[in-house]
């Protein structure tokens, strides 16, 4: 992200500024980052047609899968990371999920907030560690 910031004449937000962000702000960017990693993963592991690849991607990005992954890896997360998940999970949302259980939707928001927080803090290694673990967990889910 350093190159991007330099080319756009932006300064990265300070830790103090990031602590002021709502979990929904982190979830907003976390959703996009996570989906980009999922699309990359599916493109590299699946040689079928784009329609079928897209359907496989949905398996990873739907709320129930994200909720399953983040709840399953709770022990793997630090206390600070889990606190971010809980803040995201507890955040009131103006929208309601169309095809998801509300509890799953909230945990998915917490998961996306965690990914967004790590992304904005430029902790790419930890973010990729969590996304990789989520992919493995979702790949092996009993009910997809």
Alpha-carbon distance 23 to 109, whole Å? 8
Q: Find the mean pLDDT for residues 94-110.
A: 85
**Which DSSP letter does residue 97 get?**
-
Domain residue ranges of the chain, discontinuous segments joined by +:
14-139
CATH number of 14-139: 1.10.1520.10
State phi, psi for 107 to the nearest 5 degrees: -65, -35
The Cα–Cα gap between 34 and 42 comes to: 12
What digits encode the pLDDT tens for the residues 8-33? 988 889 999 999 999 999 999 999 99
C-alpha distances (whole Å) from 29 to each of 51, 115, 132 are 25, 8, 18
Would you mind telling me the total number of residues written for the chain in this entry?
144
For the beta carbon of residue 74, count every other beta carbon within 10 angstroms. Answer: 10
pLDDT tens-place string over residues 37-87: 999 999 999 888 999 999 999 999 999 999 999 999 999 999 999 999 999
Q: In angstroms, rounded to a whole number, what is the distance separating the alpha carbons of residues 88 and 110? A: 4
What are the catalytic residues?
A: 31
**Binning pLDDT at 50, 70 and 90, where does residue 144 land?**
very low
């Amino acid at each position: 992200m350093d190159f991007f910031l330099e080319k756009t004449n932006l300064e990265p937000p300070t830790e103090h500024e990031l602590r002021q962000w709502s979990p929904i702000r982190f979830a907003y960017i976390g959703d996009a980052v996570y989906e980009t990693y999922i699309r990359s993963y599916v493109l590299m592991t699946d040689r079928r047609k784009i329609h079928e690849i897209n359907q496989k991607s949905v398996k990873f990005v739907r709320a129930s899968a994200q909720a399953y992954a983040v709840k399953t890896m709770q022990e793997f997360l630090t206390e600070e990371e889990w606190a971010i998940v809980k803040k995201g999970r507890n955040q009131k949302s103006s929208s309601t999920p169309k095809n998801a259980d509300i509890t799953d939707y909230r945990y998915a928001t917490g998961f996306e907030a965690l990914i967004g927080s790590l992304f904005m803090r430029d902790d790419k290694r930890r973010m990729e560690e969590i996304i990789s673990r989520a992919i493995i967990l979702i790949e092996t889910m009993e009910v997809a």
